């Protein structure tokens, strides 16, 4: 398994004194060997195991609509939508690796009521009331726990364990592959009043949204073991030896019950200044109202309180520096204070030069604010004392006894008995938010010129935006590198324990939300279209763009900034940065033949081809291990050759020799997302025939083909999977390989009856 044939052409030598890369069978972990009793034996000389995961999903949708007119000036609209999606997880008892995903049992309910009232010939009022509910159950068949395998841990939920072997390994029960539920409810009331007064079309309105989530996540409940190869140089070897090189994580079941309110109001004037000039002016008030926790399971760490040894009055056993709802200066049941005075102006212009209706110039600029989704703060429920999540980098007891050497020994299930009086665990895992957090804002602008040339419409547009206060996350409590530093003593080298050993011992990683990020996007959009005429229509566009951004976070799960001492180094290309995108769609209809025979055979046919080409998005090359020995992940490799690409194709897209790991205790200066992935070409088409029956009744037959030429799109993620397309971790034997491709040719048929 260490030979060049199994490692992308390079010889791998295990570290740790293994003669001829051979491991004494007596050193193999009994816990690992018992785990492997649930995995089929591979016949491949490199240990490769190929297996399939059933994907038997079903989906049902229902829709009911009612339109009712009270009078010529008053009408009501009602719509109810219902959807069910089921995709069970299957486990036959012989291959636990098939449980790399959970099942899904989802329901969606949506009800919309709308009332329109014409108050006068120039005044219209619209009222909307909406209710949405989602029920998302994540079932998973029970298999075995770490306790069942012989590991000295407490299994709080029987039948599950998290094991992740990075690189060329596998993942079971880690991350999102654990049982739980994720339910949400939302109500909205919105009212809009439109008035026409001379050359002004005025609009004023507002809306209120109340949202709530109720979730259970068992991600850390029974323990999560990660093997990343930092022990021996090969993650699978670490796994066989029981060396938990990537760290051990455990905590209570995570119950997150959050709610939020959104309020917005606006005023807008669409002003026809002259016959060829229209100006649009608008202002929106959108206060930042932070998410609140129903049970007050939120907290805040303040460095000055830690420095001054200030303790909470609500949780007196909490270490210095922590604040909770009820403590002086804490913002209620939220994670930060709100911001009421928040206004977003917008302005737009439409100009037809010289009154020529075949040419128009449009420009606009506006400010927009972002509101985080409710799941953004879910990790606060992981914080001690509620989730009591603990992380131990490279535990000395390994797979068999991860709490060996931990202060006080295994803290579970004692940490799952009560919060007001229970002690706080050593090296607890925390997420944190500044009390005065600035919401993310976006300035967006565009300028376009449109010109009609006969039956064709051409346009050229510049699109741009700039984000400020982009939310990212940094590490408040990194480990300090020094003589004798190893992954095994990461917690003992963290900043707070070095500052105050008595209080700092209670803190492990602290992922702090940071509002100083920024992002920039600019694009040139060229389009050419022909509206349907003479049975032909064409719509095409070509986008040339560039995207730069800090590493934003969509959920506060931990640090996204790799080096807390130099966060600006992470400002680089966006992962979604595709420099060029081309779309062309055509609709061709057969003519209305006069002769009945020709009309019966060739009439009412429609052909619709669609072509989409896009250049590749981007990836980052990482070490896969903690090279800097600071306890942070996603550390990038050093690029030592100008050309990072290999011979090409899925087996050697990247050149392993072009990269190296940085020296111990240091970070690479390589920016993120410097590798461009392969582009994609998609050819689809639809062929339809409409058969007229009588009056307004007709039947349409439709044949649709996706990827009609069965083109292989490398590095695309196929439908229904989340597989990483390009392996970019240096500690993986599959480094530089593209392991996925887009969907093959897919056909579907449809019949539609119109009456």
Report pLDDT for 426: 95
**Residues 251, 253, 259, CA angle at the centre, nearest 5°?**
120
Check pLDDT > 70 for residue 711: yes
Q: How far is CA 492 from the centre of its chain?
A: 32
Q: Tens digit of pLDDT for each residue in 572-608?
A: 999 999 999 999 999 999 988 888 888 778 888 999 9
Residue 723's pLDDT band, with cuts at 50, 70 and 90, is low
pLDDT at 4: 84
Contact 588, 535 (CB under 8 A): yes
Q: Which H or E run contains 659?
A: strand 659-660
Give the confidence band of 505 by pLDDT, cuts at 50, 70, 90.
very high
In whole angstroms, give the CA distance from residue 517 to residue 448.
29
pLDDT at 61 over 80: yes
Tell me the longest C-alpha to C-alpha distance in the chain. Answer: 95
pLDDT recorded at residue 604: 86
The verdict on whether omega for the bond into residue 413 sits within 30 degrees of 0, i.e. cis, is yes
For residue 197, list its beta bridge partners. 200
Q: Does residue 728 register a pLDDT over 60?
A: yes
Helix (H) or strand (E) holding 119: strand 104-120
Q: Is the pLDDT of residue 715 over 80?
A: no
177-236 pLDDT per residue, tens: 889 999 999 999 999 999 999 999 999 999 999 999 999 988 889 899 999 999 998 999
Q: What is the pLDDT of residues 33-46, one digit of tens each?
A: 999 999 999 888 88
Q: What is the pLDDT of residue 174?
A: 76
Give me the mean pLDDT over the 716-726 stretch: 61
Q: Any idea where the domains of the chain sit in the sequence?
A: 18-50+88-103+140-179+218-250+389-423, 562-580+616-755
What are the tens digits of pLDDT across the range 456-480?
A: 999 999 999 999 999 999 999 999 9
In angstroms, the CA 352 to CA 358 distance is 8
pLDDT tens track for 638-684: 999 999 999 888 989 999 999 999 999 999 999 999 999 999 999 99
pLDDT in tens, 64-111: 999 999 999 999 999 999 999 999 988 878 899 988 888 999 999 999
What average pLDDT is seen over the chain? 93
Least confident range of 322-331, 414-423, 556-565, 570-579:
414-423
Residue 665 · residue 628 · CB < 8 Å: yes
Structure pTM? 0.88
């Amino acid at each position: 398994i260490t030979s060049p044939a199994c490692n992308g052409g390079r010889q791998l030598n295990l570290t740790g004194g293994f003669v001829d890369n051979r491991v004494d069978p007596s050193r193999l972990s009994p816990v690992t060997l018992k785990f492997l009793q649930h995995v089929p034996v591979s016949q491949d000389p490199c240990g490769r195991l190929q297996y399939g995961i059933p994907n038997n999903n079903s989906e049902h949708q229902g829709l009911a609509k009612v339109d009712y007119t009270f009078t010529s000036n008053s009408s009501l609209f009602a719509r109810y939508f219902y959807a069910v999606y089921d995709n069970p997880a299957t486990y036959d008892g012989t291959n636990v690796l098939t449980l790399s995903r959970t099942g899904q049992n989802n329901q969606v309910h949506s009800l919309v009521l709308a009332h329109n009232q014409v108050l006068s010939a120039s005044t219209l009022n619209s009222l909307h009331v909406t209710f949405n509910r989602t029920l998302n159950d994540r079932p998973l068949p029970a298999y075995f726990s770490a306790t069942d395998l012989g590991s000295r841990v407490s299994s709080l939920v029987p039948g599950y364990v998290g094991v992740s072997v990075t690189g060329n390994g596998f993942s079971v029960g880690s991350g999102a592959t654990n049982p739980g539920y994720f339910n949400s409810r939302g109500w909205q009331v919105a009212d809009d009043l439109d008035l026409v007064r001379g050359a002004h079309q005025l609009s004023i309105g507002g809306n209120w949204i109340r949202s709530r989530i109720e979730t259970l996540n068992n991600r850390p409940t029974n323990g999560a073991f990660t093997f990343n190869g930092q022990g021996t140089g090969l993650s699978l070897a670490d796994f066989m030896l029981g060396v938990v090189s990537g760290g051990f994580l455990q905590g209570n079941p995570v119950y997150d019950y959050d709610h939020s309110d959104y309020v917005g109001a606006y005023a807008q004037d669409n002003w026809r200044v002259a016959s060829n000039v229209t100006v649009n002016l608008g202002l929106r008030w959108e206060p930042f109202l932070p998410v609140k926790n129903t049970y007050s399971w939120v907290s805040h760490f303040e460095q000055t309180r830690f420095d001054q040894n200030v303790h909470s009055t609500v949780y007196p056993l909490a270490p210095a520096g922590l604040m909770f709802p009820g403590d002086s200066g804490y913002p209620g049941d939220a994670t930060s204070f709100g911001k009421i005075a928040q206004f977003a102006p917008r302005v737009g212009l439409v100009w037809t030069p010289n009154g020529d209706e075949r040419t128009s110039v449009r420009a606009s600029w506006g400010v927009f604010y972002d509101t985080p989704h409710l799941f953004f703060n879910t990790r606060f429920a992981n914080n001690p004392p509620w989730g009591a999540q603990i992380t131990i980098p490279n535990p000395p007891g390994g797979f068999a006894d991860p709490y060996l050497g931990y202060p006080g020994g295994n803290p579970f299930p004692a940490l799952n008995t009560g919060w007001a009086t229970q002690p706080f665990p050593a090296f607890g895992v925390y997420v944190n938010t500044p009390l005065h957090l600035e919401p993310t804002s976006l300035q967006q602008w565009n300028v376009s010129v449109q010109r009609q040339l006969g039956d064709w419409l051409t346009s050229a547009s510049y699109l741009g935006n700039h984000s400020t206060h982009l939310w990212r996350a940094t590490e408040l409590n990194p480990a300090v590198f020094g003589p004798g530093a190893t992954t095994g003593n990461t917690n003992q080298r963290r900043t707070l324990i070095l500052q105050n050993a008595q209080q700092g011992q209670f803190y492990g990683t602290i992922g702090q939300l940071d509002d100083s990020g920024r992002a920039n996007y600019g694009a040139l959009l060229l389009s050419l279209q022909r509206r349907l005429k003479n049975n032909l229509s064409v719509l095409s566009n070509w986008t040339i763009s560039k995207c730069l951004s800090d590493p934003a976070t969509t959920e506060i799960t931990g640090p996204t900034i790799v080096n807390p001492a130099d966060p600006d180094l992470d400002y680089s290309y966006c992962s979604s940065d595709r420099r060029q995108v081309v779309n062309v769609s055509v609709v061709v209809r057969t003519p209305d033949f006069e002769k009945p025979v020709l009309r019966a055979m060739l009439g009412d046919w429609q052909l619709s081809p669609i072509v989409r080409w896009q250049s590749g998005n981007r990836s980052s090359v990482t070490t896969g291990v903690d090279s800097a020995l600071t306890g942070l992940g996603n550390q990038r490799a050093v690029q030592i050759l100008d050309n990072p690409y290999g011979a090409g194709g899925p087996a050697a897209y990247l050149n392993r020799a072009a990269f190296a790991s940085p020296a111990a205790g240091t970070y690479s200066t390589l920016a993120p997302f410097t590798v461009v992935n392969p582009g994609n070409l998609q050819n689809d088409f639809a062929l339809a025939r409409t058969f007229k029956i009588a009056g307004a009744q007709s039947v349409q037959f439709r044949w649709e083909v996706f990827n009609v030429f069965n083109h292989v799109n490398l590095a695309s993620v196929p439908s229904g999977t989340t597989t990483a397309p390009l392996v970019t971790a240096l500690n993986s034997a599959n480094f530089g390989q593209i392991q996925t491709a887009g969907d093959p040719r897919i056909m579907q048929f449809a019949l539609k009856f119109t009456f």
